[in-house]
Amino acid sequence: MELRNNMTIVLQDVLKDKRRIAMGGHVRPDGDCVGSCMGLYLYLKEQFPQIHTDVYLEEVPEAYRMISGTDEVKTQIPEEGTYDLFICLDCGDVKRLGFSEPLFEKAGETLCIDHHISNEAFADYNYIVPDASSTSELIFTLLEKEKISKAVAEALYMGIVHDTGVFQYSCTSPETMEIAAELMRKGINGSEIIEKTYYEKTYIQNQILGRALLESMLIMDKRCIVSVIRQRSMRFFQAQPTDLEGIVSQLRQTKGVEVAIFLHEIEPQKFKVSLRSKGAVDVSVIAKHFGGGGHVRAAGVTMSGSSHDVINNITARIALQLDHSGEPEDK
Ligand code: 5GP
Ligand code: MN
């Protein structure tokens, strides 16, 4: 595994002499963000009860609330007080922390645990492994295996399940499967975690997915697929931004396409762009070019302008990569 950390993190050492610890994950928390935060939070509470630990996340999506401790998550930062250590999880850059960033800035020390290739190691201690399937997998490697409780195992398992697309994506390594096996031995109900947090969709989620699929278009000689969901559709279906999770992955499954582009209009002339690739195109480079980031096959960025402009700008960058790699292989 490629390591870009400035030290090999030993949790005991980083926690030494710390009395107050805060943890934070990225805006619009996904399964790995919630799983890694809750896994480490529960472990610290169980194994280091002398340390006061708080976890800060935007509202945890309903489906993930089956994970223990999610009802203790803080969605606002206190007006006063600082922490001895701030642990930033699953965040490719510090801005991705959103509302908890001031706590990071004020903390005595900072630690970043992450697997985004775009991460530039912005904390005092950085444990960044771009090859790791998920931040949850990295958390597992920091813990003493025999001290991992069932509740911690459930959280980490959920995180790994989400960032590997249920052990399907190429980031799933033999180590990932071994870690999943270790977690299963803690007595978790893996099938239920997969069903309830990954596959189960509300009626609204399925409706808006249907809309996105119906209105999708093949472009760039059918090598890309693009779909846009506008604010008026969100209002019509009474959908929340978290209801859009999974749409871009479904678009990518379209036979023949290399890249899926999904635009969610968050304000007039402003879009949250999600990119997914089958491998020929490195979408993290494209997202980073426009100020975002992510992984080779899954990345995101917020962009301004008309949907037309945004799509044109993105497809121009995709074309650069596809043209340089020659014709796509027959699949
Ligand atoms: P999604 O498309 O699901 O929002 O994000 C895909 C991946 O790209 C995730 O790993 C996410 O953390 C990352 N990502 C999404 N949006 C942004 C962004 O605006 N900035 C950065 N740095 N990363 C992003
Ligand atoms: Mn992740």
Give the pLDDT confidence of 78-102 residue by residue, as tens digits: 999 899 999 999 999 999 999 999 9
pLDDT computed for residue 2 by the predictor: 42
Establish whether residue 298 lines the binding site of ligand 1, counting it when its CB lies within 6 angstroms of any ligand atom: yes
Ligand 1, from 26, 115, 263, 273: best to mutate by most atoms within 8 Å of Cβ?
26
pLDDT computed for residue 9 by the predictor: 74
For residue 88 the two structure tokens come to 């930033």
Establish whether residue 293 lines the binding site of ligand 1, counting it when its CB lies within 6 angstroms of any ligand atom: yes
Q: How far is the CA of 115 from the centre of ligand 2 (A)?
A: 7
Establish whether residue 294 lines the binding site of ligand 1, counting it when its CB lies within 6 angstroms of any ligand atom: yes
pLDDT computed for residue 135 by the predictor: 98
pLDDT computed for residue 331 by the predictor: 35
Q: Which ligand is nearest to the CA of 275?
A: 1
C-beta of residue 103 within 8 angstroms of C-beta of residue 80: no
Q: Which ligand is nearest to the CA of 171?
A: 2
For residue 202 the two structure tokens come to 């509300």
| Closest by Cα among 34, 25, 28 to 242 | 28
Establish whether residue 31 lines the binding site of ligand 1, counting it when its CB lies within 6 angstroms of any ligand atom: no
pLDDT computed for residue 326 by the predictor: 52
For residue 248 the two structure tokens come to 């871009």
Determine the atom of ligand 1 nearest the C-alpha atom of 262. 2
Q: Which ligand is nearest to the CA of 295?
A: 1
Per-residue confidence of the chain (331 residues) as pLDDT tens digits? 344 454 567 899 999 999 999 999 999 999 999 999 999 999 999 999 999 999 999 999 999 999 999 999 999 999 998 999 999 999 999 999 999 999 999 999 999 999 998 898 999 999 999 999 999 999 999 999 999 999 999 999 999 999 999 999 999 999 999 999 999 999 999 999 999 999 999 999 999 999 999 999 999 999 999 999 999 999 999 999 999 999 999 999 999 999 999 999 999 999 999 999 999 999 999 999 999 999 999 999 999 999 999 999 999 999 999 987 655 444 3
CB-side neighbour CA atoms (13 Å) of 200? 12
Nearest CA to ligand 1 atom 3: 274
Radius of gyration of the chain from Cα atoms? 20
Nearest CA to ligand 1 atom 6: 299
Nearest CA to ligand 1 atom 11: 294
Nearest CA to ligand 1 atom 17: 300
Q: Rounded CA gap, 47 and 51, in Å?
A: 9
Establish whether residue 302 lines the binding site of ligand 1, counting it when its CB lies within 6 angstroms of any ligand atom: yes
CA separation (Å) from 296 to 58, 150, 203, 241, 285?
Answer: 25, 32, 31, 23, 8
Q: How far is the CA of 292 from the centre of ligand 1 (A)?
A: 7
C-beta of residue 70 within 8 angstroms of C-beta of residue 58: no
Cα four-point dihedral sign 275, 281, 211, 63? negative
Establish whether residue 25 lines the binding site of ligand 1, counting it when its CB lies within 6 angstroms of any ligand atom: no
Q: Which ligand is nearest to the CA of 293?
A: 1
Q: What is the dihedral of CA 305, 306, 312, 315, to 10 degrees?
A: 80
pLDDT computed for residue 57 by the predictor: 98
